[in-house]
Structure 1
Amino acid sequence: MLKAAPFQFADFPLLPPGFAASLGATVVVAPHPDDESLGCGGLLALLRQAGQPVSTVLVSDGTMSHPNSRRFPPPARQALRAAELRDALLILGVDSQSTLHLNLPDGGVPTTGAAGFAAAVARLREHLTAQRPQTVLVPWRRDPHPDHRATSQLVGAACAGLPTPPRVVEYVVWAWERAAAAELPQPGEVRGWRLDITPVLDVKQQAIAAHRSQLTAVIDDDPTGFQLSAAMLAHFAQPFEVYLEAAESSPR
């Protein structure tokens, strides 16, 4: 019996850089500082080059990457990562002044029905109402990190309460490496596409590098602290990004 071919994001059709402009005004929702650059930094840069407005929602406080640091206690870690996010957005051409900080606990972003979920949904819905985006970017619904899954649920609930729900486009972060078979897109569930980001690949790499605490020993007193591996970063050095939409949606 033949085995099914392994799932490959790289098998999705490749769309040209100019396609980015068709997404219109966009809000990117990032569970942590750096997800915006890793998952969709190229798209954000292309949107801004096309003159489309982009704003950001940061869901968590970003403090759990180095939980045992004494030199950088939680308020200092949060401030450092927020500053890195501002630097990355500046590189991508995105105005950080309108960023919504939900300040939910890193590693504990609430899921549907949990304490704090309804309040976070209300704040996010209010922000989306004010921004009126045509498109919302959010992590893949089963991206293998609990905060990414919770973020998808927050966005789904917030958009469901809008008079005219925006187009929801999902981006990939941890599913590149850690997804089990059940966490990957299933047949008929979504339509996937890749965006050629060759013209802004260097810009994306600069934005990723702005998140120094996740790449270097800026926080050097927590030997258990998190750093992005070279293998993980290699996925985001490719000249394309991967996006997923519900099966009833498709690139326009």
Structure 2
Amino acid sequence: MDSPLTLPLDALPWLPVAQVSTLGRTIVVAPHADDESLGCGGLLALLRAAGLPVAVILVSDGTMSHPGSQKYPAEARRALREAEFSEALRILGVAADASLLLRLPDGAVPGPGAPGFEQSVQALSAFLTAWGPATLVVPWRRDPHPDHRASSQLVQAALAALDVRPRLLEYLVWAWERAAPADLPQQGEVQGWRLDISAVSTQKQRAIAAHRSQISGLIEDDPTGFQLSEQMLAHFARPYEVYLEAS
């Protein structure tokens, strides 16, 4: 069987930086602490430079990155990941109180029908209603990590309860490394752009570096724990970020 036609991500048209100001009040949804910096760090910095209100929703508790660590048991891992998340947001210019921590189980963010799904949808709906974003930036619906897909499903369910739906943009994280052809955007399914983030690329890299537990040997007593590879990080050192919007 032939592979499905996919959108050529590295050849998408450029979105002028001036268009960022048209996004208005924006919320970014991050399945894990670091996804906000990897996938959207440049956009967040540009939005704040334009003086626009920004909030970030962190979906999971981050505790499964180093499950074998004794030095950092589960509660300490959660606290560490959340501290790194807060530092990254500070670097990107996002206000300290402009976030929501759902603290859902890392590696097991609930999908439709699973325990905790409806309660999480209600929490998301309440935050979206209170914030009234013009734009919502969420993980790509078929990003290969299950927590990313579940986060997308949570958002879709929360949006169904809103009277006014914000503009929805999607970003990729694990699709750069792990996507099967069917996981990638298909021709005609979405429009896509590359956003020039060269003006804030240093700021983005500083935000990524704030997630020390994910890019260094900070948690040294779990040699099988997760760490972002140099190959993976290279995808987020480009002078652009990719955003997709349903056609």
TM-score, length of structure 1 as denominator length:
0.95
1: distance between equivalents of 2:4 and 2:151? 31
Q: Pick which of 12-21 and 178-187 moved more.
A: 12-21
**Alpha-carbon displacement from aligned partner over 1:106-164 (angstroms, at most 9, x marks no partner):** 00000011111111000000000000000111100000000000000000110111010
2:166 is matched with: 166
Q: How many residues align?
A: 246
**Alpha-carbon displacement from aligned partner over 1:38-58 (angstroms, at most 9, x marks no partner):** 001000000000000001111
The one-letter amino acid paired with 2:152 is S
The one-letter amino acid paired with 2:209 is A
Pairing 1:25-36 to 2, within 5 Å after superposition: 25-36=25-36
2:170–2:245 CA contact under 8 A, matched in 1: yes
2:41 is matched with: 41
Deviation at residue 5 of structure 1 after TM alignment: 8.1
Deviation at residue 80 of structure 1 after TM alignment: 0.3
Runs ≥4 residues deviating over 4 A? 2-7
2: distance between equivalents of 1:169 and 1:5? 21
2:66–2:225 CA contact under 8 A, matched in 1: yes
2:9–2:242 CA contact under 8 A, matched in 1: yes
1:250 is matched with: none
SS where residue 178 of structure 2 aligns? coil
2:139–2:171 CA contact under 8 A, matched in 1: yes
2: distance between equivalents of 1:8 and 1:144? 18
Alignment partner of 1:201 is 2:201: yes
SS where residue 194 of structure 2 aligns? strand
2: distance between equivalents of 1:244 and 1:6? 13
SS where residue 122 of structure 2 aligns? helix
SS where residue 200 of structure 1 aligns? helix
2:218 is matched with: 218
1:194–1:241 CA contact under 8 A, matched in 2: yes
1:234 is matched with: 234
2:113 is matched with: 113
Deviation at residue 4 of structure 1 after TM alignment: 8.6
**Alpha-carbon displacement from aligned partner over 1:159-178 (angstroms, at most 9, x marks no partner):** 11101011110011000111
Deviation at residue 15 of structure 1 after TM alignment: 1.2
Pairing 1:1-252 to 2, within 5 Å after superposition: 8-247=8-247
1:136–1:168 CA contact under 8 A, matched in 2: yes
2: distance between equivalents of 1:49 and 1:3? 41
Cα-Cα RMSD: 1.4
Deviation at residue 96 of structure 1 after TM alignment: 2.5
The one-letter amino acid paired with 2:122 is A
The one-letter amino acid paired with 1:105 is P
1: distance between equivalents of 2:61 and 2:115? 17
Deviation at residue 191 of structure 1 after TM alignment: 0.8
Deviation at residue 231 of structure 1 after TM alignment: 0.6
Matched-pair identity in %: 63
Deviation at residue 98 of structure 1 after TM alignment: 2.7
TM-score, length of structure 2 as denominator length:
0.97
2: distance between equivalents of 1:101 and 1:46? 23
Deviation at residue 8 of structure 1 after TM alignment: 2.9
List gaps (5 residues or longer) in structure 2: none
List gaps (5 residues or longer) in structure 1: 248-252
2:4–2:181 CA contact under 8 A, matched in 1: no
SS where residue 177 of structure 1 aligns? helix
The one-letter amino acid paired with 2:39 is G
The one-letter amino acid paired with 2:51 is G
